[in-house]
Amino acid sequence: MNSFIFWLIDVFSDVVYDKILRKIKYLEFRDIKTLNIFYCATDKIILAGMRVKEQSSLDLTTSDIFTKWKEEDLSMVNLIKTEKKYSKEREMEVFELLQSGCLITDDKLFNALMDSF
């Protein structure tokens, strides 16, 4: 009987986690010189990103990066936009991005980056 209860809890957890993964639309990864925002659409993933050269003093981990970015020498900043179809099930790729350090976010930074192209 105990193994059945553990199995039932495991199945329930998987169902709940899968439902959460399906609802995730945007993921964010940041470090001092890199900002990646992923839009997880139903059929593909779109990346809008920013890379700052090592010589730059711009820190992409701060909350006011767009204010400071406007003050930065534009030659120090590279904007990136790319997309790809999922190579695995969408929820699996979202899960892998979360495991690699991405955080769930909203569309604000993604839209701001997309408006910069």
pLDDT tens digits for range 91-101: 999 999 999 99
Nearest to 113 by CA among 48, 58, 64: 48
pLDDT > 90 in the chain, percent = 58
Range of the domain at 108: 25-115
Tell me the pLDDT band of 58, cut-offs 50, 70 and 90.
confident
**What was the pLDDT predicted at 9?**
62
Residue 84 lies in a domain: yes
Higher pLDDT, 1 or 63: 63
Residue 39 lies in a domain: yes
Query: What global pTM score does this model have?
Result: 0.85
Residue 17 lies in a domain: no
- For 36, other C-beta atoms within 10 Å of its C-beta total 21
Tell me the pLDDT band of 57, cut-offs 50, 70 and 90.
confident
